[in-house]
Structure 1
Amino acid sequence: MARTVGVEEELLLVDARSGEPQALSSAVLALAERRTGKDSVFEPELHHQQLEFATEPRADMTELAEEILRWRAEAAASAADFGASVAALATSPLPAKPVIGEGERYSWLARRFGLTAREQLTCGCHVHVSVASDEEGVAVLDRIRPWLPVLLALTSNSPYWQGQDTSYSSYRSRVWSRWPSAGPVEVFGSAESYHRQADALIDTGVLRDKGMIYFDARLSYCYPTVEIRVADVCLDPADTVLLATLVRGLVETAARSWRAGEPPDALPVSLLRMAAWQAGRSGLEGSLLHPLTMKPAPAEDVLNVLLAHVRGALEDSGDLASAESALRAVTSRGPGARVQRRLLAETGSLRTTVAECVARSRG
């Protein structure tokens, strides 16, 4: 049976007319809860200008796609009652004045991390994939490390920051990397080693709790899953489904490798950081670092290597044809960063760009 997959998407709340971020999450969340009758789908985030939803665990990717569309539409409908829209943008193209959310946790983050927390108006996409045990989960984490920058490039959707073109495809990844526990990690080797390091990080007093273990991929602290956290939120919901499909393929491929006794590649964290930087900088527009050689290679070639790596798992889950089609589509039109830059070139207006992205966010 195929592993189950769940997706968490963070969305930006923007004024329906100006496109500027709006601090309306409390009102939108309350209305969405009344409309849906559910209190666990939508959740607040660090800033009042964003909200998050989480899907149910799904084994079928068609069902996952339908749920992503449903919750994006529900978020948009609830926001519309307050003159706002929802945009699947990983950073705001227009200037923003982030407003920290309510509650002791967010207040603590603001006090502890200062400007890093106050500026952290970014939207990511987290993919959870079921694992049989922590031991299997850590074996997976050890083996997917070189592939995570490719997922970042594939989902890059944050070229603008405070009204400026950053020259990055995923500037969110650069802003996110300011957190002290964010980024790639070394090979752990065992669940005991993983938990020992996580405990040691918390014991430093720098982090509040396990929820602040912001590794690019980690064991979930509340679900029996591995959680891949490297991606920008995707402008096109079809790209979110592609991401989830490839992540499940990576997890299954890694687990099979572990069961076969194949050791993980012990690439140093310094090289993985270089690969992540390159992915955030160029997206799919230039070269990426090849996951097997850590040498520059055309982005399209690297995507083909990723697909070849997970081909067996995708064939077994019945996802190969849809993944190939979706990969061709995103390679042709580009991820969100390319779409945003093209829209600005065509319209000359960041506000119009945001309005178009609002429409595209609904699929």
Structure 2
Amino acid sequence: MSNVVADAPLERDAGDSLLTVGVEEEFLLVDPATGAAAEAVDQVLEEVPPDLRGQVQHEFLTSQIEIGSPPGLQLEALAHSLGLLRSGLSAAAERAGFQLLAVGTGPAGPDDEHSPRIYENPRFHRMIERYGNVSPGPGYNGMHVHVGIPSPEIGVEVLNHLRPWLPILHAATANSPFYNGRDTGYASWRSVLWNRWPPVGPTPWLESHAHYLRIVDELIDSGMLLDEGMLYWYARLSSHLPTVEIRIGDVCLTIDDTILVAALIRGLVAAAMEDIEAGRPALAVEHHLLVAAHWRAAHDGLEGLACDLFEGGSHPAWKMVRRLFDRIGPHLERHGDLETVSYLLGRLHTHGTGAARQRSVFTRTGEMSQVIDYLAVQTRG
């Protein structure tokens, strides 16, 4: 909900029109003895090294903490930044007596009646006053990917082009199968809980930037939004950076997973911009089909079926991943990402999503404590 990356300088290279990419990640703080969400953000922030503090901050609940990478052009630099932040924050959490988990929501509780307090922030209190208790639980942790755009007008067209592709990215990031000590039957239970917030959902079809702004104003006037920052569409224009912000996924389990998703999203944005320049229209998918495709993604992850919004029907999710890869291959190559993405997609196919990996640990051990320990190790990197 907050924006760690807001003060970072936006790096652009107009000479070769490469697109910058930056990432925000939200994490859960837990008690290592029980695995339950811990109201620990202030204690952990005190332990964060001074050189990292500008990229770390609190989130909505006192059991959450967030990092933000500087935007840049190179995946290697992004991975290095996230590695320093994750390892530094994991160590800070351990010094404070807690564990840091990259997981969509709490596997071991607490239940909704015993959820952590919201962070002492006037805006967060206004949100609770407006919406009521729609956000009980240990915390919902997502990943937001920012990709640079030349103008808001182009950005709105990009959002239209992204709509049919976001469900497969939703599936790829699924990383929250457990909640309150049980398997929910979903790959991304965070997605189900997050959709209780009124502003959450697929981005509507947009006629222009003026149309986008008019919708925001109308939603604020209706009372559904407090401000533009509460526009929780799955993709939107950033309110503070010249970027499109894709915010569909659970926080990824590992740095490799995050880098893969960031590269795929940048490739999609680049492909959309090429289509816009060539005058190729976006596919105008009906809203109910988008809702269905995102539900399927949250339920199955990549281990089941995915809705085909281009040709209709449902197919194995990896068939849609293959189509996505073929679509953006030239743009991955142009950004120098093709080899990295090919390798990381192979690993994802072999090992499964974060949800599948968590379930594998639980199936092998039968212990939620082993899942928690596994999450902590994978989070650190």
Asked if Structure 1 and Structure 2 have the same fold, meaning a TM-score greater than 0.5 normalized by the shorter chain, the answer is yes
What is the alpha-carbon distance in structure 2 between the residues aligned to residue 120 and residue 197 of structure 1? 32
Provide the residue aligned with 1:7 in structure 2: 23
- Equivalent residue of 1:156, what SS? coil
What is the alpha-carbon distance in structure 1 between the residues aligned to residue 353 and residue 125 of structure 2? 34
Tell me the amino acid that sits aligned with residue 252 of structure 1.
A
**After superposition, what is the alpha-carbon deviation per residue over 1:32-80, rounded to whole angstroms, capped at 9, x for unaligned?**
2xx2245431111110011001000110001101111110111111111
- The reply to whether residue 46 of structure 1 matches residue 60 of structure 2 is yes
What is the alpha-carbon distance in structure 1 between the residues aligned to residue 69 and residue 166 of structure 2? 22
Q: Percent identity between the aligned chains?
A: 38
Provide the residue aligned with 1:343 in structure 2: 361
What are the ranges of 5 or more consecutive residues in structure 2 without an aligned counterpart? 1-15
**After superposition, what is the alpha-carbon deviation per residue over 1:145-175, rounded to whole angstroms, capped at 9, x for unaligned?**
0111101110100001111211000011111
What is the alpha-carbon distance in structure 2 between the residues aligned to residue 283 and residue 323 of structure 1? 19
Provide the residue aligned with 1:194 in structure 2: 212
What are the ranges of 5 or more consecutive residues in structure 1 without an aligned counterpart? none
Provide the residue aligned with 1:269 in structure 2: 287
User: Relative to structure 1, is the Cα distance of residues 119 and 26 closer, same or farther in structure 2, using a 3 angstrom cutoff?
Assistant: same
What is the alpha-carbon distance in structure 2 between the residues aligned to residue 120 and residue 176 of structure 1? 12
The answer to which of 242-251 and 176-185 deviates more is 176-185
What is the alpha-carbon distance in structure 2 between the residues aligned to residue 203 and residue 225 of structure 1? 25
Q: Map 1:74-223 to 2 at 5 A.
A: 74-96=88-110, 97-119=115-137, 121-223=139-241
- Cα deviation for residue 23 of structure 1 reads 0.7
- Cα deviation for residue 143 of structure 1 reads 0.3
Provide the residue aligned with 1:72 in structure 2: 86
TM-score for the superposition, normalised by structure 2: 0.92
- The reply to whether residue 63 of structure 1 matches residue 77 of structure 2 is yes
User: Relative to structure 1, is the Cα distance of residues 71 and 39 closer, same or farther in structure 2, using a 3 angstrom cutoff?
Assistant: closer
- Equivalent residue of 1:64, what SS? helix
Provide the residue aligned with 1:22 in structure 2: 38
Out of 352, 355, 360, which is 1:334 matched to? Answer: 352
TM-score for the superposition, normalised by structure 1: 0.97
C-alpha contact 1:128 1:225 (8 A) present in aligned 2: yes
Tell me the amino acid that sits aligned with residue 12 of structure 1.
L
Q: Map 1:252-263 to 2 at 5 A.
A: 252-263=270-281
Provide the residue aligned with 2:266 in structure 1: 248
What is the alpha-carbon distance in structure 2 between the residues aligned to residue 294 and residue 209 of structure 1? 36
Provide the residue aligned with 2:252 in structure 1: 234
Could you say what the CA RMSD is over the residues aligned between the two structures, in angstroms? 1.2
User: Relative to structure 1, is the Cα distance of residues 119 and 113 closer, same or farther in structure 2, using a 3 angstrom cutoff?
Assistant: farther
What is the alpha-carbon distance in structure 2 between the residues aligned to residue 11 and residue 148 of structure 1? 22
Provide the residue aligned with 2:11 in structure 1: none
